[in-house]
Amino acid sequence: MAIRIFETDPDARPKQTFSDDTVGRFHGGKQVDGLPVAISEFRVTTGDPEVADAIAQLMGGTPVETDSTSENFIEIMTGVDKVKVVLSGADAISSDLKLWNGNVLIHHCDGVEFLSPDLDRGKPCGCPPLMEDRKAAAKAKRGPKPSISVTFRLAEDYDLGVFRMQTSAWTLAEVLHEVENALDKIGGEALCSLELELVEYTTKKGRDVSYRKPVIRALKSWSDAVAEPKF
């Protein structure tokens, strides 16, 4: 399934310019005192000490055991904001829209039709057609926000295992079709750059804004990359 947010608002579309058996997760933020906090470099979590050590060697940071009840209780605050990864293809990316009330999923759709529960699957979801209204509803917790999952291997340690990154960033949702098209053109495994790109600007009222957005850049086929002396 894929997000269908542009079917109802085609003018908002930007112009062209694995299984769950993962060994760890990449994050672009963290929770502090129950509140989300943005970070400038990737945070990686895993439950495998050997994977944690490998990540620290590749990307910097020190593995720390947290009190998290998650299976990925070891945390590494890396020193990198971009990493070369290998995606199996467009099928390595899944996306939909979700609204949670605590641990209860109360709205699950693709932007046009419900995806669950089965009783409502395929019926109109009632989300607003315009992108601006979708974002406003999500911000007010009256509507769903993107749920994007990306699975990949590390280009520098392919055999370490499959990792996952989960994000709800609208900035990625809006260009996800471009990433998937690029992956389809490459065909098969693709070398990509996974980044936390810095965005800075000043509003009309003179307020400085700075944040990081997740970015996926499809570079070339993995087979071509490994044939080169240095990818």
Q: What is the pLDDT of residue 127?
A: 97
Mean pLDDT check: name the lowest of 15-19, 32-36, 132-136, 145-149: 15-19
pLDDT digit string, tens, across residues 58-105: 999 999 999 888 899 999 999 999 999 999 999 999 999 999 999 999
Residue 3 CA to residue 13 CA, distance in Å, equals 12
**Least reliable range by pLDDT among 93-97, 156-160, 162-166, 201-205:** 201-205
Q: Residue 22, class by beta-carbon neighbours within 10 Å (0-12 exposed, 13-18 middle, 19+ buried)?
A: middle
Query: Residue holding tokens 């910097």?
Result: 60
Query: Which amino acid belongs to residue 98?
Result: K
Per-residue pLDDT for 20 more than 60? no
At 18 the pLDDT is 36
| pTM metric for this prediction | 0.88
Residues with Cβ < 8 Å from 49, sequence gap 6 or more? 63, 74
- The pLDDT mean for the chain works out to 92
Backbone angles phi, psi at 70, to 5 degrees: -70, 155
Q: What are phi and psi of 67, to 5 degrees?
A: -90, 15
pLDDT digits (tens, 9 = 90+) for 92-111: 999 999 999 999 999 999 99
Torsion of CA 66, 69, 70, 75, to 10 degrees: 0
Helix (H) or strand (E) run with residue 55 in it: helix 49-59
**Confidence band for 126, pLDDT divided at 50, 70 and 90:** very high
The whole-angstrom separation of Cα 102 and Cα 43 is: 24
192-220: per-residue pLDDT in tens? 999 999 999 998 999 998 889 999 999 99
Q: What band does 36 get if pLDDT is binned at 50, 70 and 90?
A: confident
Q: What percentage of the chain carries pLDDT values higher than 90? A: 79
| 52 within 8 A of 188, measured Cβ to Cβ | no
The per-residue DSSP string of 91-144 comes to: GGEEEEEEEEETTEEEEEESSSBEEESTTTTTSB----SSHHHHHHHHHTTSS-
Residue 17 pLDDT greater than 70, yes or no:
no
